[in-house]
Amino acid sequence: MNITVTNKLAQRLMEASGEPVSGQQLADEFGISRTSVWKHIKDLQEKGYEITSVKKKGYVLMGLPDSLEASTIQPLLKTKRLGKTIEYRASCESTQIIAHQLAQTGVPDGTVALAEEQTAGRGRMARKWDSAYGKGVWMSIILRPDVPIQRAPQFTLIAAVAVVRAIEEVTGLRPDIKWPNDILVNGKKCTGILTELQSDADGIQALIIGIGLNANQEPADFSDEVRDIATSLKMESGGHVSRQELVRSILFYLEQYTEIYVKEGFGVLKLMWESYSTTIGRKVRARMAKETLEGIAEGITEDGVLQLRTADGKLHGIYSADIEM
Ligand code: BTN
């Protein structure tokens, strides 16, 4: 079976957006026999594509397999750069590790590593990240922006805005951002973002933006440590959420926003981030490695540093902390 033809046929049915396409038409378009079309359709059905055959009209695609394989994701993408190359794993330690290895081999800007499961998913501050099989989006995106190293944290903030927009679009939920990059729904964390850097004397070689998005977990899927503070989009919206749609939408917005960034700078994106922020303007406690400070979170700087004013009137720049509100 020619896999490329099978994938292209899937793409053709997706593009038909629920309209039937006749077996003869597919046979003509792909230069194959109708029997061969039927074999490819059977192959897709075995992979989890829901395809029905409507009498005298043709094949209709009713649903996609719940998989993040490149062949399922790429036909959905509306991007020019992001996701053109996808490295997929059913299981891996961490998509960050894969992306770091890929970045060193010189893969292009916009390359994405995706996995169904991570056995050693990692979060900020060397914490572990629960990454159950098929329940979430475990994705690392390689960007190669031509900006000085100090600007790297801005990309984490841009990614957070892209993820919030995607969640809104796909689920209708209204997420908040908790500084620096936690995405909450109804006060519980549904997404974390971890940005890592490869750099040398010439500046940034690659930014690895790791996104862990809890899509379809039930409470029992979370470990005891995080069960009370974590949530999934399914738990908040009450229905199964399409992980493919989330990937499509995140990559779309991230591409749009990085283009805005290149053309217009960080200003408008900072405003967007602030509009979703649940931290700014609130009394917060910032727990850092060596001290804990309490005060009002007044805003973020152009570099994403949190400005915290303590009761004595002093303004502190917080670079990395756990925030309690
Ligand atoms: C956080 O601590 O909030 C950040 C969590 C980031 C998790 C994602 S899942 C995909 C990528 N691979 C990893 O191992 N971590 C990031």
Q: Which tens digit of pLDDT belongs to each residue from 190-221?
A: 999 999 999 999 999 999 999 999 999 999 99
**What CATH number has the domain bearing residue 294?**
2.30.30.100
**What CATH number has the domain bearing residue 153?**
3.30.930.10
- Residue 96 has what pLDDT? 98
Distance 126 CA to ligand 1 centre (A): 10
Looking at the structure, do residues 91 and 125 belong to the same domain, yes or no?
Answer: yes
Looking at the structure, do residues 135 and 255 belong to the same domain, yes or no?
Answer: yes
- The closest residue, in CA terms, to atom 2 on ligand 1 is 123
pLDDT above 80 (res 304): yes
Cα 82 to Cα 10, 151, 167, 226, 251, distances in angstroms: 21, 20, 18, 31, 6
User: What would the mean pLDDT of 71-88 be, rounded to a whole number?
Assistant: 93
Looking at the structure, do residues 235 and 261 belong to the same domain, yes or no?
Answer: yes
Quickly tell me which residue has 């990085």 as its tokens.
258
Which of 20, 47, 63 finishes a domain? 63
Q: Is ligand 1 within 6 A of the CB of residue 136?
A: no
Looking at the structure, do residues 8 and 97 belong to the same domain, yes or no?
Answer: no
**What CATH number has the domain bearing residue 33?**
1.10.10.10
pLDDT above 70 (res 240): yes
- DSSP secondary-structure letter at 91? E
Q: Determine the Cα–Cα distance for residues 275 and 83; give it in Å rounded to an integer.
A: 28
Q: Which tens digit of pLDDT belongs to each residue from 216-237?
A: 999 999 999 999 999 999 999 9
Q: Determine the Cα–Cα distance for residues 209 and 160; give it in Å rounded to an integer.
A: 10
Q: Is ligand 1 within 6 A of the CB of residue 285?
A: no
Distance 281 CA to ligand 1 centre (A): 27
Looking at the structure, do residues 155 and 31 belong to the same domain, yes or no?
Answer: no
Looking at the structure, do residues 237 and 117 belong to the same domain, yes or no?
Answer: yes
- Residue 61 has what pLDDT? 95
Q: Is 112 helix (H, G, I), strand (E, B) or coil?
A: strand
Q: Is ligand 1 within 6 A of the CB of residue 139?
A: yes
Looking at the structure, do residues 133 and 184 belong to the same domain, yes or no?
Answer: yes
Q: Is ligand 1 within 6 A of the CB of residue 122?
A: yes
Looking at the structure, do residues 34 and 140 belong to the same domain, yes or no?
Answer: no
Looking at the structure, do residues 39 and 153 belong to the same domain, yes or no?
Answer: no
Q: Is ligand 1 within 6 A of the CB of residue 194?
A: yes
- The closest residue, in CA terms, to atom 3 on ligand 1 is 192
| 181/122: higher pLDDT | 122
Contact in structure between 103 and 204 (CB atoms under 8 Å): no
Quickly state the pLDDT bin for 239 (edges 50, 70, 90).
very high
User: What would the mean pLDDT of 66-84 be, rounded to a whole number?
Assistant: 92
> Structurally, how many domains does the chain consist of?
3
Question: Which one-letter amino acid corresponds to residue 283?
Answer: K
- Residue 4 has what pLDDT? 79
Q: Is ligand 1 within 6 A of the CB of residue 179?
A: no
pLDDT above 80 (res 2): no
Q: Is ligand 1 within 6 A of the CB of residue 118?
A: yes
Tokens read off for 262: 């290149």
| Chain centroid to CA 263 | 23
Domain that holds residue 220: 70-276
Q: Determine the Cα–Cα distance for residues 1 and 47; give it in Å rounded to an integer.
A: 13
Instruction: Ligand 1 pocket test: pick from 194, 196, 207 the residue with the most ligand atoms within 8 Å of its Cβ.
Output: 194
Q: Is ligand 1 within 6 A of the CB of residue 120?
A: no
Q: Which tens digit of pLDDT belongs to each residue from 243-277?
A: 999 999 999 999 999 999 999 999 999 999 999 99
Looking at the structure, do residues 46 and 164 belong to the same domain, yes or no?
Answer: no
- Residue 1 has what pLDDT? 67
Distance 212 CA to ligand 1 centre (A): 5
pLDDT above 90 (res 11): no
Distance 185 CA to ligand 1 centre (A): 18
Looking at the structure, do residues 168 and 292 belong to the same domain, yes or no?
Answer: no
Q: Is 315 helix (H, G, I), strand (E, B) or coil?
A: strand
Q: Is ligand 1 within 6 A of the CB of residue 140?
A: yes
- The closest residue, in CA terms, to atom 10 on ligand 1 is 138
Average pLDDT of the residues of the chain: 95
Q: Which tens digit of pLDDT belongs to each residue from 162-184?
A: 999 999 999 999 999 999 889 99
Q: Determine the Cα–Cα distance for residues 5 and 282; give it in Å rounded to an integer.
A: 55
Q: Is ligand 1 within 6 A of the CB of residue 124?
A: yes
- The closest residue, in CA terms, to atom 15 on ligand 1 is 122
User: What would the mean pLDDT of 61-85 be, rounded to a whole number?
Assistant: 92
Tokens read off for 31: 């230069």
Looking at the structure, do residues 108 and 213 belong to the same domain, yes or no?
Answer: yes
